[in-house]
Structure 1
Amino acid sequence: MDPDKNRPEAISGSMWRLAASAFVVLAAEPCFVLVDTAVVGHLGSVPLGALGVGGTLVSLVAMLGVFLDYGATGRAARWFGAGRRGDAIDEGVAATFLALVLGVVAVGIGELLAGPLIRLLAGGAGPTARAAVTWFRVAVLGVPGMLVVLAGNGWMRGVQETRRPVQIVVLANVISAIASPVLVYPLRFGLVGSAIANLGAQVIGGVLFLLILRAERRPWAPRMNVVRAQLRTGGNLFARAVGFQVAALVAVSVAARMGTAKLGAFQVGLECWAFELVV
């Protein structure tokens, strides 16, 4: 073992790199959503309100997948610290497997129940609800990629690989932030253009993390004991995420019943608050 790695300066440097990586990854999504909100906001109150309702449902899935990120980090870090990098990568394989399975299930449920869920949140079947359903049906297709990104961030932080996750997340969100106004306005996709840009970011990010995992040359078939252990580890994180999202869903539902303009204002305020919370 290299004794220099145990020096306080080295430990401090590692902590700063890990913290900076986590910060950039966490801040990238709120930054993109702020841009997306600004773009859609110029379409009017109905599209903005629809983005608020549909985006909240997509965020629900993302938050429920947070255990893939932080659960994989802790488990991979323990193996990596013990000098067993292969076992640490196996945690990444298991987390990615769970991400794909849960993502496919989420897409199926989301497409099947999009209408009822949106109408429940929006308080009826008005123009905002119809626009939200259209946006959500496209955006939810990106959930598997979104969860793969969360899993990838988790296991790569666990093996102290901090640069590439940041590069991937920033690249995907920058491309999406550029594509969103182009799709919405010059190409005249309107609100759906925002969903396509969102979907593109998740697909790009997910594919890049899969390519990195493939380059590790570990078996693609997950070890089921590792999968079960990750599910047990993620139980508390899952419960915590559910609590946050229930509060957000109730708030969106209340705002929707106060009118389209107020729902749009809530969406702007919520995303500004989310950005401030991360930064």
Structure 2
Amino acid sequence: MLGQATVPLVGMVDTVVIGRTGDAAALAGVALGTTIVNFLFWTFGFLRMGMTGLTAQAQGADDGTEVRAMLARGLLLGLALGALLFALQWVLVPVSLGLFAGARELDAAASGYITARFLGAPASLAVFAINGWLLGLGRTRSALLLQIVMNVVNGVLDIWFVWGFGMGAEGVGLGTAIAEWVALGTGLTIAAGILGPTALEGLRTRLFDLAALKRLFAINADIMVRTVALLLLFAWFANAGARLGTEVLAANQVLMQFVSIAAFVLDGFAFTAESRVGNAIGRGRHEELKRAIRLTGEFSLGAGLVFALTTGLAGSWLIGLITTDPQVRELARAFLPYTALVPLIGVPAWLLDGIFIGATRGKALRNAAVVTTALYVATDLLLRPCGAHGMWIAFLIGYLYRAGTLGAALPGLIRGIAEKPAAP
């Protein structure tokens, strides 16, 4: 949970540094830019999610060589895909901006932020793989250290570039890109320390093992579709805010910091479920699987209630710290009750994600996400006459769709695990 709490601090720092300048257009530009970057980068989020489940299962089966090979495959794939994104940015950036309902001033700020972020694309995707590998091994302290290093570097550079040099949204993006490269160096150092002198042992024969690669790409293809579907959901939500005006989009960016912190911290339980579920499946233990689901579920619901209460009670004060623009503050406070409900309503969806990722059930994740996004878009269209309130209500209902579609597949997952005899 501590490690996960540091993940959204990158976006929080970006938002606060820009928000304290009082420039609503720059804040909205960072909001729009973040949505586009998240969509493009997290399209390859399987590098984190697929890596966790497969690594945990390899560890559960006591296959050290496959554990090492998984890291090498993830790093190579992440660097290659990140380099491809960087090379295609000249096409991707204008096309992405053209799909959103932003004004010219908003597009200019967003473009500067996105272009700077693309400098860190290879490092960002490689760090996805390292994080997934560490979580699969249950090395949560190492994952925490990695995130702390990235956040400290990002915070210092954001303040320096924006408040020191007046670089605006572009400075925020550049600070984050540099922090991602520092995080990659840190992650490689951590991985080398964990593996020790055996880091390269067996890689020559296992790195390009056909069966392992086939399984990796099959699972990752399903998770990629799942991720793109959910990213479309969040992009639709961001575009709904942009359609209602720069101030609404800026207010949504402020409120999404609360959502991100709750989601990432509560994902700590989901990541625990990923590792424990993966290990239980690797060992073929039904009771361990059920226990992991029950315990993480109980703690998740309790923590979700705490987050909901905290957001509702302290949210107005925190909004005042994040932005100085009066109109943005007023709008954010008006929509705060919806934001306070997200941690409670979203808990089942986040936890079920972790369970299915740990079980490497990519098809179930894919199908649930596609159905969820389609239902969410239909709901948002139906609620458009309600304006911004309808936008937030549809967003909350989207979490119920995610939980319902995955929950329906959970009994089949549990039944499908083959029980292995205990070792003598």
Task: Assess same fold via TM > 0.5.
Answer: yes
One-letter code aligned to 1:56: T
Matched residues in 2 for 1:227 and 1:104: separation? 21
Matched residues in 1 for 2:222 and 2:44: separation? 12
Q: Give the Å deviation of 1:244.
A: 1.5
Matched residues in 2 for 1:82 and 1:262: separation? 50
Q: Hey, what does 1:76 align to over in structure 2?
A: 55
Matched residues in 2 for 1:35 and 1:214: separation? 30
Q: Report if the CA contact (8 A) 1:122-1:128 is conserved.
A: no
Q: Hey, what does 1:275 align to over in structure 2?
A: 261
Unpaired runs of 5+ residues, structure 2, are 266-424
1:254 aligns with 2:254: no
Q: Hey, what does 2:67 align to over in structure 1?
A: 88
Q: Hey, what does 2:165 align to over in structure 1?
A: 187
CA RMSD of aligned residues (A): 2.1
Q: Hey, what does 2:222 align to over in structure 1?
A: 236
Greater RCO, CA 8 A, separation 6+: 1
Q: Give the Å deviation of 1:189.
A: 2.0
Q: Hey, what does 1:227 align to over in structure 2?
A: 213
One-letter code aligned to 1:142: G
One-letter code aligned to 2:9: C
Q: Report if the CA contact (8 A) 1:98-1:227 is conserved.
A: no
Q: What TM-score does the superposition give when structure 1 sets the normalisation length?
A: 0.83
Q: Taking structure 1 as reference, are residues 90 and 33 closer, same or farther at Cα in structure 2, changes over 3 Å only?
A: same
Query: How big is each residue's C-alpha offset from its partner over 1:223-250, in whole Å with a ceiling of 9 and x where there is no partner?
Result: 1533332121123322221221111111
Q: Give the Å deviation of 1:214.
A: 5.4
- The structure with the larger Rg is 2
Identity of aligned residues (%): 23
Q: Give the Å deviation of 1:48.
A: 0.5
SS at match of 2:166: coil
Matched residues in 2 for 1:278 and 1:78: separation? 23
Q: What TM-score does the superposition give when structure 2 sets the normalisation length?
A: 0.56
Please identify, of 46-55 and 100-109, the stretch whose mean Cα deviation from structure 2 is larger.
Answer: 100-109
Q: Hey, what does 1:138 align to over in structure 2?
A: 116
Q: Report if the CA contact (8 A) 1:89-1:155 is conserved.
A: no
Query: How big is each residue's C-alpha offset from its partner over 1:197-219, in whole Å with a ceiling of 9 and x where there is no partner?
Result: 11122111112223444564324
What does 1:1-279 correspond to in 2, within 5 Å?
Answer: 23-43=1-21, 44-123=23-102, 126-213=104-191, 216=195, 217-218=199-200, 219=203, 222-223=207-208, 225=210, 226-279=212-265
Please identify, of 88-97 and 110-119, the stretch whose mean Cα deviation from structure 2 is larger.
Answer: 110-119
Q: Report if the CA contact (8 A) 1:106-1:143 is conserved.
A: yes
Query: How big is each residue's C-alpha offset from its partner over 1:45-91, in whole Å with a ceiling of 9 and x where there is no partner?
Result: 11011101111111113432222112112212222223221221101
Q: Report if the CA contact (8 A) 2:81-2:122 is conserved.
A: yes
Q: Give the Å deviation of 1:192.
A: 1.6
Q: Give the Å deviation of 1:37.
A: 0.4
Matched residues in 1 for 2:2 and 2:78: separation? 21
Q: Taking structure 1 as reference, are residues 116 and 83 closer, same or farther at Cα in structure 2, changes over 3 Å only?
A: closer
SS at match of 1:48: helix
Paired residues in the alignment total: 256
SS at match of 1:185: helix
Q: Taking structure 1 as reference, are residues 242 and 182 closer, same or farther at Cα in structure 2, changes over 3 Å only?
A: same
Unpaired runs of 5+ residues, structure 1, are 1-22
Q: Taking structure 1 as reference, are residues 24 and 136 closer, same or farther at Cα in structure 2, changes over 3 Å only?
A: same
Q: Taking structure 1 as reference, are residues 71 and 113 closer, same or farther at Cα in structure 2, changes over 3 Å only?
A: closer
Matched residues in 1 for 2:209 and 2:90: separation? 29
Please identify, of 164-173 and 25-34, the stretch whose mean Cα deviation from structure 2 is larger.
Answer: 25-34
Please identify, of 213-222 and 67-76, the stretch whose mean Cα deviation from structure 2 is larger.
Answer: 213-222
Q: Report if the CA contact (8 A) 1:36-1:180 is conserved.
A: yes
Q: Hey, what does 1:12 align to over in structure 2?
A: none
Q: Give the Å deviation of 1:27.
A: 2.5
Q: Taking structure 1 as reference, are residues 240 and 27 closer, same or farther at Cα in structure 2, changes over 3 Å only?
A: farther
Q: Hey, what does 1:16 align to over in structure 2?
A: none
Matched residues in 2 for 1:250 and 1:73: separation? 28
Q: Taking structure 1 as reference, are residues 96 and 24 closer, same or farther at Cα in structure 2, changes over 3 Å only?
A: farther
